[in-house]
Amino acid sequence: CGGTDPETMLKCAVELQDYCDGIDINCGCPQGIAKRGKYGAFLLEQEETLLTLVKYLVPRLKVPLSVKVRLLPKEDAEKRLEASLSLYTRLVDAGIHLLTIHGRTRHQKSQLTGAADWNAIA
Protein backbone atom coordinates (compact mmCIF):
# COMPACT_ATOMS: atom_id res chain seq x y z
CA CYS A 1 0.00 0.00 0.00
CA GLY A 2 1.16 3.49 -0.63
CA GLY A 3 0.11 6.94 -1.54
CA THR A 4 -1.14 10.04 0.16
CA ASP A 5 -4.88 9.48 0.44
CA PRO A 6 -5.66 9.09 4.15
CA GLU A 7 -8.67 6.79 3.62
CA THR A 8 -6.76 4.48 1.29
CA MET A 9 -3.82 4.29 3.67
CA LEU A 10 -6.11 3.68 6.62
CA LYS A 11 -7.92 0.87 4.84
CA CYS A 12 -4.61 -0.82 4.08
CA ALA A 13 -3.19 -0.27 7.59
CA VAL A 14 -6.34 -1.63 9.26
CA GLU A 15 -6.07 -4.78 7.12
CA LEU A 16 -2.49 -5.28 8.28
CA GLN A 17 -2.49 -4.14 11.89
CA ASP A 18 -3.63 -7.45 13.38
CA TYR A 19 -0.64 -9.18 11.77
CA CYS A 20 2.19 -6.84 12.77
CA ASP A 21 3.64 -4.84 15.64
CA GLY A 22 3.41 -1.49 13.86
CA ILE A 23 2.81 0.33 10.60
CA ASP A 24 5.58 2.30 8.88
CA ILE A 25 5.31 5.09 6.33
CA ASN A 26 8.48 4.80 4.27
CA CYS A 27 9.52 8.30 3.27
CA GLY A 28 12.96 7.07 2.36
CA CYS A 29 12.55 5.82 -1.20
CA PRO A 30 14.37 8.16 -3.62
CA GLN A 31 13.42 6.34 -6.84
CA GLY A 32 11.63 7.98 -9.76
CA ILE A 33 8.54 5.81 -9.29
CA ALA A 34 8.11 7.36 -5.84
CA LYS A 35 8.23 10.83 -7.40
CA ARG A 36 5.54 9.90 -9.91
CA GLY A 37 3.39 8.40 -7.16
CA LYS A 38 4.04 11.28 -4.74
CA TYR A 39 5.33 9.00 -2.00
CA GLY A 40 8.68 7.93 -0.56
CA ALA A 41 11.29 10.64 -0.06
CA PHE A 42 9.27 13.00 -2.25
CA LEU A 43 6.47 13.02 0.30
CA LEU A 44 8.87 14.73 2.73
CA GLU A 45 8.70 17.81 0.52
CA GLN A 46 4.90 17.83 0.80
CA GLU A 47 4.96 18.40 4.54
CA GLU A 48 1.31 19.29 5.02
CA THR A 49 0.20 16.23 3.06
CA LEU A 50 2.43 13.98 5.16
CA LEU A 51 1.32 15.56 8.42
CA THR A 52 -2.35 15.27 7.44
CA LEU A 53 -1.80 11.59 6.72
CA VAL A 54 -0.05 10.97 10.04
CA LYS A 55 -2.67 12.88 12.05
CA TYR A 56 -5.39 10.87 10.34
CA LEU A 57 -3.79 7.47 10.90
CA VAL A 58 -2.44 7.72 14.46
CA PRO A 59 -5.76 7.86 16.35
CA ARG A 60 -7.38 5.24 14.12
CA LEU A 61 -4.78 2.47 14.45
CA LYS A 62 -4.35 -0.10 17.21
CA VAL A 63 -0.61 -0.37 16.57
CA PRO A 64 2.15 2.26 16.63
CA LEU A 65 2.85 4.35 13.53
CA SER A 66 6.44 5.04 12.50
CA VAL A 67 7.94 7.10 9.70
CA LYS A 68 11.27 6.53 7.95
CA VAL A 69 12.72 9.80 6.70
CA ARG A 70 15.70 11.18 4.81
CA LEU A 71 17.34 14.56 5.25
CA LEU A 72 15.56 17.25 3.29
CA PRO A 73 17.38 18.20 0.08
CA LYS A 74 18.70 21.67 0.86
CA GLU A 75 22.06 22.78 -0.62
CA ASP A 76 23.39 24.36 2.56
CA ALA A 77 24.10 21.77 5.28
CA GLU A 78 22.90 24.06 8.08
CA LYS A 79 19.62 24.82 6.31
CA ARG A 80 19.20 21.11 5.47
CA LEU A 81 19.55 20.18 9.13
CA GLU A 82 17.28 23.00 10.33
CA ALA A 83 14.51 22.16 7.83
CA SER A 84 14.80 18.43 8.53
CA LEU A 85 14.63 18.86 12.30
CA SER A 86 11.62 21.14 11.95
CA LEU A 87 9.76 18.47 9.97
CA TYR A 88 10.82 15.69 12.35
CA THR A 89 9.55 17.70 15.31
CA ARG A 90 6.22 18.23 13.57
CA LEU A 91 5.94 14.48 12.87
CA VAL A 92 6.57 13.67 16.52
CA ASP A 93 4.05 16.32 17.59
CA ALA A 94 1.54 14.75 15.16
CA GLY A 95 1.78 11.52 17.14
CA ILE A 96 4.22 9.13 15.48
CA HIS A 97 5.71 6.56 17.81
CA LEU A 98 9.07 6.10 16.11
CA LEU A 99 11.16 8.08 13.66
CA THR A 100 13.93 6.39 11.67
CA ILE A 101 16.41 8.77 10.07
CA HIS A 102 18.34 7.79 6.95
CA GLY A 103 21.28 10.20 7.00
CA ARG A 104 21.17 11.03 3.30
CA THR A 105 19.01 13.20 1.04
CA ARG A 106 16.93 11.78 -1.80
CA HIS A 107 19.63 12.96 -4.21
CA GLN A 108 22.14 10.59 -2.61
CA LYS A 109 21.37 7.38 -4.45
CA SER A 110 23.04 4.96 -6.88
CA GLN A 111 26.48 6.25 -7.85
CA LEU A 112 25.89 9.45 -5.84
CA THR A 113 25.13 7.68 -2.57
CA GLY A 114 28.11 9.02 -0.64
CA ALA A 115 28.51 8.90 3.10
CA ALA A 116 25.63 9.39 5.50
CA ASP A 117 25.61 12.64 7.45
CA TRP A 118 26.28 11.18 10.89
CA ASN A 119 26.40 14.62 12.50
CA ALA A 120 22.84 15.31 11.35
CA ILE A 121 21.66 12.03 12.87
CA ALA A 122 23.45 12.60 16.16
What is the set of active-site residues? 29
SS3 state at 20:
coil
Q: How far apart are CA 59 and CA 54, in angstroms?
A: 9
| C-alpha distance across the termini of the chain, in Å | 31
